[in-house]
Every structure is written in structure tokens, then in C-alpha cells.
Amino acid sequence: MACLLETPIRMSVLSEVTASSRHYVDRLFDPDPQKVLQGVIDMKNAVIGNNKQKANLIVLGAVPRLLYLLQQETSSTELKTECAVVLGSLAMGTENNVKSLLDCHIIPALLQGLLSPDLKFIEACLRCLRTIFTSPVTPEELLYTGPDHQTILFNHGAVQNIAHLLTSLSYKVRMQALKCFSVLAFENPQVSMTLVNVLVDGELLPQIFVKMLQRDKPIEMQLTSAKCLTYMCRAGAIRTDDNCIILKTLPCLVRMCSKERLLEERVEGAETLAYLIEPDVELQRIASITDHLIAMLADYFKYPSSVSAITDIKRLDHDLKHAHELRQAAFKLYASLGANDEDIRKKIIETENMMDRIVTGLSESSVKVRLAAVRCLHSLSRSVQQLRTSFQDHAVWKPLMKVLQNAPDEILVVASSMLCNLLLEFSPSKEPILESGAVELLCGLTQSENPALRVNGIWALMNMAFQAEQKIKADILRSLSTEQLFRLLSDSDLNVLMKTLGLLRNLLSTRPHIDKIMSTHGKQIMQAVTLILEGEHNIEVKEQTLCILANIADGTTAKELIMTNDDILQKIKYYMGHSHIKLQLAAMFCISNLIWNEEEGSQERQDKLRDMGIVDILHKLSQSPDSNLCDKAKTALQQYLA
């Protein structure tokens, strides 16, 4: 019986809680507009700082009624404004409150309110919108977030209307204007090119931004101004060698990485600097020698230290919860710093415990930290020297293989790209990676719906097959399957196709391997080659395909698959006379391998090719203005004379 009583008890508690709130909602339906207004004002006072009351009112259906009153033409402006204020207060409660407001379609109603001529009402709507959009549960696509939206704002005069606010007497207004410009300029060349030439009180906008990032300005202003200039630079509106970047923006962002700054300032400074220098080797070199930046970033991993200067307990608690953001930012900046320069990579790796920190980062619970750690490792793995030393000393391949077993696509893309580097022929990690089941894993990636993962899977297999033993090549072919290989050869992504051709070329190298593979897969490979040479493909694809044919022609028994295929022979002849030198040269390699007179059966092959008119083409090519093509043709003709 006790079990049966449980539900009624719960219901009575709920009714008791909501009864005290019901009269607030009931008053919203009063026929007297003045009483409705007073009811909304009383509701406003009741919900301030009271999450329980907010939840009760939402459960009782206050939100749809408030939205109705807010949108009614007969409602007074004062009533509409008070409704918007209450809705804003409800939005400041829990995330569930925000979800409830979104479910009632609050955003279109508030946006409509912005068309009102009354400033107080507009302000109340804007405050409510800001509260809703700063909540993590609000989908970003509900408002302006992408390039199309930046363009809409730009086309509606946002730049001109916001520019004069930079000279406002109010610091808050200046800051919001700055933030608007940083959002508008981000990855948008059209907006950025316009901003460069905007004048405010006779001064160009970049000059105003430079003034705002001087040391005597508030940190928030320095950082946001540096972001504006960074985004304009990355969008191509300001040159990377411009003084405002080298002498102002870059040093300002390095300053933000100092341990004297607050955690969020250090995070934002490092991430913005990483973005600024990412594509430019000269900026990377300048940043690496500014204020001992590489050593300074090492402090990001020691935070907060036992001797931390933070005395504010709340601040310390906040920073402990967000310390992973510092590690993420440091990895990002190290990745950008080491993207191109070998000396910088060496300095990064020689920074105290750096490799251990990266390896630890690969297994952190935060996906963002793992991703940043993998990116950092990928950047450093571009160094031949480091692949042979530090990467081997720390057995980096082990945690990397673990990451590849189960990770989101964004991590898989970078981790698999790095695996491509670890599988290069000179890398000591290649052998243990092969022994740990990499072939199966990579073949699995080639079946991904994500083109970047297919490319990386096949690229890594291509590197693995380079100068590999017959057993490894057989493992690749068995795990990949001929069906999947030919699916990849008809992939819509050009990069996938090119890397698959590269894999085939590496598989078909050294004569015993060529003959072995062609004896088991010859028919399908010749079929695929024919389809590609007949298809609408670019020069590079056809050149790779002809190089595969040249490798087949270098086999002892495999070359007969070409000689007995008149269709393929006619295609080789056609490409010998092609207008593009690359294709002529690749076709020439095929012919040279087929007619080489030191090999068995060369006389019969030479005779057949002569009957096809190949010798006449060789004579013509021996007069080519291209010295390389001319030499290859003369060498081939000598085989007929020997």
C-alpha cells in the first residue's frame, strides 16, 4: 500500500509549491490592462534572484502569455517593455529555463520587438536576446554566425553605423563596437578590406585599433583590438610584414601570454597569436624570439602552482576548473610556432618535459585538449630529425594508436595525418606501428564517409607500401580488398584518387613484387587503368596512371599484360603524341621498359611496337625542343639499334 501512496504525496507537494505562484499568472489574464501591467511588474519583482519562482512560473504557463502580451498591438509600450524584462529575468535562471523559452519561439518575438520606435522596449528586447544567446543551450544558427550573416550585416551598413561608436565617451560602448568589428572581420575578406579604409574623425580604423592596443589601455581593449587586426591580417586586408602587425599586434598578444595576466586573458592571447602566425613563417620566427615566448608557454602546464599568487578562493576554484583551457591554448600556439621552422621545433621539443606533456595531453578527458595536443604533435612530426629522435625516445606512436582507436572525427583527421608522417620510410616508428595492427585500422579509415579520413587512410597506406617487403604489401591488399581499392579509384574526391594511385604505384615496385601482384590482381588493375585513361581526369591523374603502367612494364612477366592488350598499347601511343610534356614523358617510360633489349622477349616486343608506328613517333620526339623528352626518345631508339 505504501507504494501506492507515493505518487499522490509528490503531487500535493507540487501543488503546494505552485499555488503560491499561480496568482501571478492569473493576473496576466485580467480584462483590465492596468491590472495586467501591475501583475507583470509584481512578477518581475518576485522572480529577481529566485530560481525556484522562475521555474514555477514557467511550469504554470507564464511564458506563452507574456509573449502574447509582448506582441499584441493593443498592449501599451510600458507593458511590452515589462514583459521583455520578465522574460529576460526568466532566461537568467537555469539552462532548462532557456530551453523552455526557446520552445515557445521567443526569439522571433524579440527580434520583431527591435522594430519598435521605443528605445526602452528595444533595450529590454536586446538584453533578453543577449542573455539567451550567451546560454550554451541556444543553437548558434538562430542568429548571425556564418559568412552569409556577416555579409547581411555588412550590406545593411553595420560598418558605418558601428564605426563612430569607437569614439564614444562610454567605455562599454567602445568595447561592444570593437567586439562587433572582430566578429565581422573574422575570416571575411570583403568586410576586412572595407575596414582598412574606414575613416573615423579623420583617422583610419587600423590606426584607431593600434591606439587601442597600447599598454596604457584596459587589457580587454588591448586584446580585442589585437583580434581585429589579426583577423584583418588573416583575411588579406593587412600585410603580414606591416608594422602594425610586427611591431604592435604580435608583441601585444605575446604580452597577454605572461603569467601576470588572468587565465582567460592568457588563453585568448595564445589562441589569437596562434591564429595570426599560423600561415606565415616569418611571423613564427619573430614570435619565437619575442619575450622568451617558448619558455613562457611552459608555465601554462604548471598552473595553478602551489605558490600561486591567487588569494581569491573563488578565483582559484574557477581557474582550477579551467586550467585545461591553458594547456589547450599552449598546444595550439606551439603547433603554429613549429609549423615550418626546424630550429623552432627543436626549441619547443627541448622545452622542459615537452614531449611528456604532449603524450599526457593525448589522453586528457577534454576533447579540445586532446585535439590541440595531436595538432601540436603533428606540427612537430614534420621534422625528419625529431621523427628519428624525440618521437622514437618517447614512443609517441603508442598513445597515438590509442587515440586512433576511438575518437571524434576532428581528432581522427589530425591523428591519422600525423600517422602518415610516422609511417615515412626513414621513421623508426614505422616497424612497431605495423606490428600494432595499423593496416586494419587504416583500411577502415578508407571506408569513412569523411573525405579527409579517406585521404589520410590511403595516404598512410601509400607511405607504408613505399619500399616495403612483399609481406606488408600483401597484407595491405588483403586488408583493403580489391573491391575497396577500385571503389577508391572511382572516388569523387580528387585527393583520394591521387593517393590511391600513389598506393598502387608503391605496391607495384621492384620486379618480384610487380609480377606477384599482377599475377593475382592483374586483370582488375588493367581494367582500372583503362577506365582512368579513358575518363575525364586532369593531367596529374593521368600522369600517375601512366607511371603505374610504366611500373607494370618493368615487371618480368607482368609486362605481357600490356603487350597482349592492344587497347592499352594504343592509349600509350596516343599519350606519346599528347600536347602535355608530362604525359609524353610518362608514356615514354612505358615504351622504354617494354623495349629494353637486355630482357627476354625484347625483340618480339620491339617488332610489335614498330608495326604500331612507335618508332616513327620516337624519331619525331628525338627532335623535341624539350631536352628531357628528346633524350628519352634517343635512348629508346638506341634499343632498336643495339
Residue 23 pLDDT: 86
Task: Write the single-letter amino acid at 583.
Answer: L
- Return phi, psi of residue 462, to 5°: -60, -45
Q: At which residue does the C-alpha cell 501591475 appear?
A: 38
Name the nearest CA neighbour of 396 among 425, 429, 420, 348: 429
Task: Please tell me the distance from the alpha carbon of residue 199 to that of residue 471, in angstroms, as a whole number.
Answer: 69
Residue 621, pLDDT > 80, answer yes
Q: pLDDT averaged over the chain?
A: 90
Q: At which residue does the C-alpha cell 598502387 appear?
A: 504
Residue 168 grid coordinates: 564614444
Cβ–Cβ < 8 Å for 166, 177: yes
Question: Which pLDDT tens digit goes with each residue over 504-560?
Answer: 999 999 999 999 999 999 999 999 999 999 988 999 999 999 999 999 999 999 999
Task: Please tell me the distance from the alpha carbon of residue 483 to that of residue 206, in angstroms, as a whole number.
Answer: 57
Return the exposure string of 486-513: e unless at least 16 CB atoms fall within 10 Å of the residue's CB, then b: bbbbebeeeebbbbbbbbbbbbbbbeeb
Confidence of residue 143 (pLDDT cuts 50, 70, 90): low
Residue 604 grid coordinates: 618480339
- Cα torsion 386, 390, 392, 394 to 10°: value is -150
Confidence of residue 12 (pLDDT cuts 50, 70, 90): very low
Residue 138, pLDDT > 90, answer no
Q: What's 29's DSSP letter? A: G
- Cα torsion 342, 344, 349, 354 to 10°: value is -150
Q: What is the 3-state secondary structure (H, E, C) of 151-203?
A: HHHHHCCHHHHHHHHHHCCCHHHHHHHHHHHHHHHCCCHHHHHHHHCCEECCE
Q: How far does CA 526 lie from the centroid of its chain?
A: 38
- CB neighbours of 60 closer than 8 A, spacing ≥ 6? 18, 21, 22, 25
- Return phi, psi of residue 235, to 5°: -85, 0
Residue 45, pLDDT > 90, answer yes
Whole-prediction pTM? 0.77
Question: Which pLDDT tens digit goes with each residue over 354-369?
Answer: 999 999 999 998 999 9
DSSP string, 230-261: HHHHHTTSS-TTSHIIIIIIHHHHHHTTSTTS
Cβ–Cβ < 8 Å for 362, 397: no
Average pLDDT over residues 101-121: 92
- CB neighbours of 176 closer than 8 A, spacing ≥ 6? 165
Cβ–Cβ < 8 Å for 90, 55: no
Q: What are the residues facing 200 on neighbouring strands?
A: 203
Cβ–Cβ < 8 Å for 269, 290: no
Residue 502, pLDDT > 80, answer yes
- Return phi, psi of residue 622, to 5°: -70, -10
Name the nearest CA neighbour of 24 among 45, 48, 8, 10: 45
Residue 142, pLDDT > 70, answer no
Provide the 3-class DSSP secondary structure of residue 204.
Answer: strand
Q: Tell me which range, 58-62, 286-290, 391-395, 595-599, is most confidently predicted by mean pLDDT.
A: 286-290
Confidence of residue 304 (pLDDT cuts 50, 70, 90): low
Confidence of residue 311 (pLDDT cuts 50, 70, 90): low
Name the nearest CA neighbour of 372 among 324, 326, 328, 418: 328
Q: At which residue does the C-alpha cell 583500411 appear?
A: 443
Question: Which pLDDT tens digit goes with each residue over 228-285?
Answer: 999 999 999 999 999 999 999 999 999 999 989 999 999 999 999 999 999 999 999 9
% the chain with pLDDT above 70: 95
Name the nearest CA neighbour of 583 among 542, 638, 633: 542
Q: What is the 3-state secondary structure (H, E, C) of 469-486?
A: CHHHHHHHHHHHCHHHHH
Question: Which pLDDT tens digit goes with each residue over 407-460?
Answer: 899 999 999 999 998 888 788 888 899 888 899 999 999 999 999 999 999 999
Task: Please tell me the distance from the alpha carbon of residue 188 to that of residue 180, in angstroms, as a whole number.
Answer: 13
User: In the chain, count of helices (H) and strands (E)?
Assistant: 41, 2
